[in-house]
Structure 1
Amino acid sequence: MTKKRNGFLRFCCSFLPGAGEMYMGFMKMGLSLMSMFFGIIVAASIFELGPLAVLAVIAWFYSFFHVHNLAGLSDEEFYAVEDDYLFHLSGEGGKDKSFVKRYRTIIAVVLILLGIMLIWNSFYWMIANLIPDETVWVLQEISYRLPRLLAGIAIIAAGIYLVHGKKKSLEEEEKKEA
């Protein structure tokens, strides 16, 4: 059952992502946020991808303010909020397509790039002591610069995709109006 509950305890619980939602009775929301937060931290540490931890900070801020936004709702709005998972991976929850089906290509590209990065880092550290220092330096530069280059290319591609999609939707709206 959802309740607004004690303000001080709610504030204390809001420092742990998902705990504030759980304290107010939104177990599914809380579980989603807590799983996302700790999953990002675990993935960043296991795969040695420190920059991924920025997503954990974003999840923390979202959860913190989400709790206080829920608490700031009027009583009738608060009780109308449905406890639901944040992500519907199976396609349930009234959505036509599941999360994985909608973003299959993006997920595949991210997983492939992540796999390539992990293989490269493992390979690099296995051969670093066996090759000359000059070659190690070149490989280090490639390891440092290549992910940034690929990220830049991905950002440009995403921008082009968004502009192209917006242009296409504007053209479709013009056709409907005509």
Structure 2
Amino acid sequence: MQHDRNGFLAFVLNTFPGLGHYYLGRKIRGILYPFMFFGSIGVGVLLYSATNGDEFFALSGIGIALFIWCICMLDLIVALLRAPSVPQRLNELGHPINEHGELLTETRTPSEHSERFYTILLSFIPGLGHLQLGLMQRGLSFLIAFFGLATIMVFVTGVTNQSVFLLFLGVLPIIWVYCMFDAVQQINRKQAGELLVDRTLFEEFDAAREDGKRSKILVTLLSAFPGAGHMYLGLQKRGLQLMVLFLGSIYILDILRLSLFMFLVPVIWFYSFFDGLQQSSRYGKEPLVDRPIVEGIENHRGLVGIALLLIGLYYLGTQFIIPVLDTRFPEFLIDYRFRTYIQTFIVSLLLIGGGLKLAMGNKKIKPNPEKSRIRR
């Protein structure tokens, strides 16, 4: 094994099985690991074809390949950890030189290189790199934020049987990338001679505030959930409406099986996210106005009450009355006919009624003669 090679580069190259080992001079492992990795996939594909599409063999081949990849990575990590550090060459004046006797412009010692490598390597698991630097509170906050969010989302999905909550797992890559870059910044500060301060993420956000103002970084993070960033800025009405629109649209489109209108969900999310960023940019420069998305709801409480009443009756009928009638009179296929015909009829009737209401309520605006004179 060649000890003068870059360990971090070997780790990155080893994402392709065996390439990192080959880079370090471990040629047998560099050939054996990719052969076993791709061989297991190939055998799985051949057995899948030979058994006329039995998915068990294909999944088994992929699973064995992933297991070999993990063994390959673990083998490389153990080899890098056991590798002795290369002594630094010095000239007569004590300056670092390379193997050709030339002065090195980089002043990092081998111990600093190894510390940097181990920190980055451990940071692939959020929080471990900070723990290695002695930042216990910061490391634990990253660990809890990453694995806690994953655990809660999986738990809520399992309890409610709603896979839509798994969408919030998209926040995990953001936490992972932020943790990785934060670990690199911390090791750079330490090697530059700065004193590291062990504080949690929320303490970091509080320290970033200016004159007691709300943190714009936290606003950006909270805006990932529609309405949360607005509420943090004090825009309660706007944030509440965005949150209700987002979650309510998912719920209503799901129970009414309106997959045609599912495009509204990402539209609402993007609108809420970028609106939160705009409100954050205005914060501190001009007063924020809590203007709701849909104005005048207070003047139409009767319509809102009727809508809630109809939704409640619909939910009561679909979840209780129709299943009971379908069980009592199975020969009429009540549940099947309702979901196939009556539900479609109700949704179509609501859409037609809403369209007629908008079309008939669109009054023509009479031109103002004074404004026309000014334009002329």
Q: TM-score, normalised by structure 1?
A: 0.59
Match of 2:327, SS state, is: coil
- Letter of the 1:36 partner, please give it: V
Distance 1:99 1:158 in 2: 17
Match of 1:146, SS state, is: helix
How many residues end up aligned between the 2 structures? 154
Which residue does 2:299 correspond to in 1? 101
Which residue does 1:81 correspond to in 2? 288
Q: Structure 1 residue 147: deviation in Å?
A: 2.6
More relative contact order in 1 or in 2 (CA 8 Å, sep 6+)? Answer: 1
Match of 2:313, SS state, is: helix
Distance 1:66 1:3 in 2: 19
Q: Structure 1 residue 125: deviation in Å?
A: 1.4
**Between Structure 1 and Structure 2, whose CA radius of gyration is higher?**
2
Q: Structure 1 residue 69: deviation in Å?
A: 1.6
**Cα 1:140/1:161, change in 2 over 3 Å:** same
Matched, 1:70 2:279: yes
Q: Structure 1 residue 85: deviation in Å?
A: 6.5
Distance 2:212 2:277 in 1: 14
Could you say what the CA RMSD is over the residues aligned between the two structures, in angstroms? 4.2
Distance 1:160 1:104 in 2: 20
**Cα 1:69/1:162, change in 2 over 3 Å:** same
- Letter of the 1:16 partner, please give it: F
Q: Is the 8 A contact 2:226 2:269 kept in 1?
A: yes
Which residue does 2:366 correspond to in 1? 173
Q: Structure 1 residue 130: deviation in Å?
A: 2.8
Distance 2:359 2:245 in 1: 31
* Unaligned ranges ≥5, structure 1: 89-94
Q: Is the 8 A contact 1:4 1:71 kept in 2?
A: no
Match of 2:366, SS state, is: helix
Distance 2:312 2:247 in 1: 17
Q: Structure 1 residue 5: deviation in Å?
A: 3.4
- Letter of the 2:345 partner, please give it: L
Q: Structure 1 residue 157: deviation in Å?
A: 2.2
Which residue does 1:111 correspond to in 2? 308
Q: Equivalent of 1:162, from 358, 363, 376? A: 358
Which residue does 1:129 correspond to in 2? 327
Q: Structure 1 residue 140: deviation in Å?
A: 1.4
Per-residue CA distance 1:3-35 (angstroms, 9 max, x = gap): 47344x433222123332344x32525762576
**Cα 1:3/1:56, change in 2 over 3 Å:** farther
* Unaligned ranges ≥5, structure 2: 1-210, 370-376
Q: Structure 1 residue 58: deviation in Å?
A: 5.4
Q: Is the 8 A contact 1:36 1:59 kept in 2?
A: no
Q: Is the 8 A contact 1:33 1:63 kept in 2?
A: no
- Letter of the 1:119 partner, please give it: L
Per-residue CA distance 1:63-121 (angstroms, 9 max, x = gap): 31221122344853xx2213x37379xxxxxx8xx62433623641x234323322322
Which residue does 1:92 correspond to in 2? none
Which residue does 1:5 correspond to in 2? 215
**Cα 1:16/1:157, change in 2 over 3 Å:** closer
Q: Is the 8 A contact 1:20 1:67 kept in 2?
A: yes
Match of 1:156, SS state, is: helix
Distance 2:351 2:299 in 1: 22
Matched, 1:40 2:236: no
Distance 1:125 1:99 in 2: 35
Distance 2:245 2:354 in 1: 25
Q: Is the 8 A contact 1:32 1:85 kept in 2?
A: no
Distance 1:153 1:144 in 2: 15
Q: Structure 1 residue 164: deviation in Å?
A: 2.2
